[in-house]
Homo-oligomer: A and B are copies of this chain.
Amino acid sequence: MMNDTENKNITIGDVAEALGVSKTTVSRAISGKGRIGDETRQRVLDYIEANNYRPNPMAKGLADQRKYNICWAIPGDSNVYDLPFFQRCMAGVCEVTMATDYDVLISLVYEKNISHLKRIVENKKVDGVILGRTLVDDLAVKYLKGKDIPFVTIGSSNEKNVIQVDNDHENACKEITSILAGKGYRKLALIGGSSSHVVNATRQRGFELGLRAAGVDINEDMLFLGNETTADVERAVDGALSVGAECIVCMDDCICRDVLLKLRRDGISVPGDLKVASFYNSELLDDNQPQITAIQYDPKEIGNVACTILLKIIAGEEVEQKSLLGYEVLLKESTR
């Protein structure tokens, strides 16, 4: 006898009929909700397994008002979304959903335009949202707070009552800064990026705490912040050199790369003439000779945690307001 053919669309009704029970019973066997006889449940489960029955998520969603999708929202600006950070983070998110009934829907959001996210939320296509990046004055955060939908942000938000998961940037930056100062490099210049990112403010704070911890006074002239373009960074490098920096601390990998290129072009040797460290490590720095002292995070872990938390919220469980993840300080050649 032929095994079950690739039945087009076997429904809960078919299963019920085949087994001579009601749809409700089948539903109960699957969901585990409601009371049902052990033997009956097993019969149903066996049949389902054997015939590869899959509940239609549309119907289920319609009936129980759930979508079984979450939204992964990342910056749509081309120079941002291709940072490996987001891919890894996303993989972390997917890893978690793979073990559940949930799937991940993508949304590209822009600094001033979150219309796609709005559409997804208003079309009720998702049960929750993970914001892959958080800005200081984040449109998406504000929007989601106004809606009745669970969401978590990756990276810290200044907004109140927002569930967030982040690396412990502050302590990481504090630690690496004080280590550097402890090594005797007391003229540390900080070169930082756009101040519209919460994380940059956090890193700056970590930097200052680190200096203080090492007993070094903070010198405003050594802070070069708000650099957006490569040209800005290059200017900052010149500035740092002109005020006699012994070590340049870069707020992130992109800046550090620009700094290193500039130094190489100018014939300034690292660590010979100048030390360099970065508050964020990535493959952008991997190839550099010498290897760069930097803070190492695990983006995938962030994705994991963010997703786990979101699913908990959706399930109605309580969660921490803020989760801080660990880091590693990699001391390399560039500050030797």
Q: Kindly report how many copies of this chain are found in the complex they form together.
A: 2
Once the chains bind, are A287 and B261 in contact (CB under 8 Å)? yes
Name the residue of chain B whose CB is nearest to the CB of A300: B78
| Binary per-residue interface labels of chain A (58-82) against chain B in the complex, 1 for a CB within 8 Å, 0 otherwise | 1101100001010010001010011
A88 at the interface (CB under 8 A from B): yes
Once the chains bind, are B67 and A58 in contact (CB under 8 Å)? yes
Once the chains bind, are B67 and A62 in contact (CB under 8 Å)? no
Given A62-B56, A67-B58, A87-B81, residue A257 in contact with residue B287 (CB < 8 A): yes
Once the chains bind, are B88 and A57 in contact (CB under 8 Å)? no
Given A69-B105, A78-B88, A82-B88, residue A58 in contact with residue B124 (CB < 8 A): yes
Complex alpha-carbon distance, A90 and B57, angstroms: 25
Contact check: which of B55, B58, B76 meets A58 at CB < 8 Å?
B58
A125 at the interface (CB under 8 A from B): yes
CB distance from A71 to the nearest CB of B (A): 9
Query: Which residues of chain B have C-beta atoms less than 8 A from A78's C-beta?
Result: 88, 91, 300
Once the chains bind, are A91 and B76 in contact (CB under 8 Å)? yes
| Binary per-residue interface labels of chain A (117-139) against chain B in the complex, 1 for a CB within 8 Å, 0 otherwise | 00010111100000000000000
Contact residues on A (Cβ < 8 Å of other chain), bracket: 35 or more
Given A76-B94, A105-B105, residue A124 in contact with residue B54 (CB < 8 A): yes
Query: Which residues of chain B have C-beta atoms less than 8 A from A122's C-beta?
Result: 52, 54
Complex alpha-carbon distance, A192 and B179, angstroms: 43
Contact check: which of B59, B87, B88, B98 meets A62 at CB < 8 Å?
B59
Given A57-B125, A58-B124, A123-B57, residue A90 in contact with residue B103 (CB < 8 A): no
Given A58-B67, A59-B62, A82-B84, residue A120 in contact with residue B105 (CB < 8 A): no
Complex alpha-carbon distance, A106 and B84, angstroms: 16
Name the residue of chain B whose CB is nearest to the CB of A87: B82
| Binary per-residue interface labels of chain A (289-331) against chain B in the complex, 1 for a CB within 8 Å, 0 otherwise | 1000000000010000000000000000000000000000000
State which residues 124-162 of A face B: CB under 8 Å.
Answer: 124-125
A108 at the interface (CB under 8 A from B): yes
Query: Which residues of chain B have C-beta atoms less than 8 A from A94's C-beta?
Result: 76, 106-108, 116
Once the chains bind, are B57 and A124 in contact (CB under 8 Å)? yes
Once the chains bind, are A106 and B90 in contact (CB under 8 Å)? yes
CB distance from A148 to the nearest CB of B (A): 8
CB distance from A250 to the nearest CB of B (A): 15
Once the chains bind, are B103 and A120 in contact (CB under 8 Å)? yes
Sample 20 A-B pairs with CB under 8 A, ordered by A number: A54-B124, A56-B62, A56-B123, A56-B124, A58-B58, A58-B61, A62-B62, A69-B105, A78-B88, A81-B87, A81-B88, A82-B84, A82-B87, A86-B87, A87-B87, A94-B106, A94-B108, A95-B108, A103-B106, A103-B120
Once the chains bind, are A91 and B81 in contact (CB under 8 Å)? yes
CB distance from A311 to the nearest CB of B (A): 16
Name the residue of chain B whose CB is nearest to the CB of A55: B123
A104 at the interface (CB under 8 A from B): yes
CB distance from A150 to the nearest CB of B (A): 16
9 A-B pairs with the lowest CB-CB distances in the bound complex, closest first: A82-B84, A82-B87, A58-B61, A58-B62, A104-B106, A94-B108, A54-B122, A103-B105, A98-B116
